[in-house]
Amino acid sequence: MALPRVGAMTDTTPSVPGFAAVPAPESTAAFAAALPKVELHIHLQGSASVPTVLELSRRHPGGPVPTEERALREFYAFRDFPHFAEVYGAVNALVREPEDVAALMTGAARDLAAQNVRYVEMTVTPYAHQMMGMPKKAITEALDIAARQAAAGGVQVGYIFDIPGEFGTEAARATADHALTEPPEALVGFGLGGIEQARARYRDAIRDAFAAATAAGLHSVPHGGEMTGPETIWEVIDGLGAERIGHGTSCLADPRLVAHLRDTRIPLEVCPTSNVCTGQVPDLASHPLPRMLEAGLFVTLNSDDPPMFGTTLTREYQVAAETFGLGPAELAGLARNAVHASYLDEAGKRAVLAEIDALPLPA
């Protein structure tokens, strides 16, 4: 399969011993930009930049996704989470060929490299691609080639296969089957996303899928507590053996859950701008991130679906500084949390941590 080159991804400090020292940044915003990072919560379809989506919409015209930039940006103004899911599905419907999957991954890698991201765990929803007629083998081949190109450009990739929860039993079984029979080389985790309120009726099938995936050695990394209460977080912990949780922001409503998360050090993948854009919190100032940190929870910062939400991973660090008053040392601590919470190999973790420690704090 022909694959576009990743492009200008070489202006990054390599995440290997012997990296060059980074000059001291002059401000917290510059520090956030220079900070070596790990991204743990980003969705492949949601990582598509505006130019990439426009390219796909023009390649596959006739659907609801606009073909002009201004209209596309207006298309990304979400009323609530169901509306976001509708728009997300429309963009996914543009991904019809393995080459489209590869274009998404290589474009995302290019964007991440420009932000000094050294390692990404990219969430892929293979069932969505299968519904568009793509065979498992073709999807896996595209992901493998794209991961190799990303690594050559400075970004190491791990994949998480994600069940779209609202699609039910068939989606759960198909996702587990793909993970177990045709996995990409970089597959490290098994996840669960989509509309949380729709999951309960498919609980047994989802649990069975996770049991099979974790028995095969994949890490359990479901979403929970993004749009529902603490009961969803308890379900992914008790029913799915969650080792890391996407969002988890409703945990503060349950003191027993907060204590459990603090004691077990289960990492939470927090995405502040995403939560505002999908209507889970009214504005950034209302976001529970500061209270989660005050409670001693293991928090990481992430971007979720960055072009759809008008953000980047770097911007999430800057938001943490501007809105919540976190200083460079606290931002570096969050960056270290992401490294420790990742499934990067130990040598890779040591290398990224050394880069973070070597970055001088602003005067």
CATH (domain of 143): 3.20.20.140
Q: Give the pLDDT of residue 25.
A: 56
Instruction: Please tell me the pTM assigned to this model.
Output: 0.89
- How confident is the model over 156-174, as a mean pLDDT? 96
Statement: residue 3 has pLDDT above 50:
no
Residue 78 lies in a domain: no
Residue 64 lies in a domain: no
Q: Which of 353, 321, 278 is nearest to 77 (CA)?
A: 278
Statement: residue 316 has pLDDT above 60:
yes
Handedness of CA 351, 352, 353, 357 (dihedral sign): positive
The residues, any chain, with a CB within 8 Å of residue 249's CB and separated by 6 or more, are: 225, 226, 268, 270, 275, 280, 281, 287, 288, 292
12-23 tens-digit pLDDT = 222 322 223 344
Statement: residue 43 has pLDDT above 50:
yes
- How confident is the model over 158-185, as a mean pLDDT? 97
48-94 tens-digit pLDDT = 888 888 888 888 888 889 999 999 888 888 888 888 888 888 888 88
Residue 91 lies in a domain: no
How many domains in the chain? 1
Q: Which domain holds residue 352?
A: 35-53+97-358
Residue 140 lies in a domain: yes
User: If you compute the radius of gyration of the chain from its CA atoms, what whole number of angstroms results?
Assistant: 19
What single DSSP character describes residue 210? H
Q: Are strands 223-224 and 117-124 parallel, antiparallel or unpaired?
A: unpaired
> Looking at this protein, which amino acid is placed at residue 245?
I
> Looking at this protein, which amino acid is placed at residue 48?
A
- How confident is the model over 183-196, as a mean pLDDT? 96
Statement: residue 2 has pLDDT above 80:
no
Residue 144 lies in a domain: yes
List residues with catalytic annotation. Answer: 226
Residue 354 lies in a domain: yes
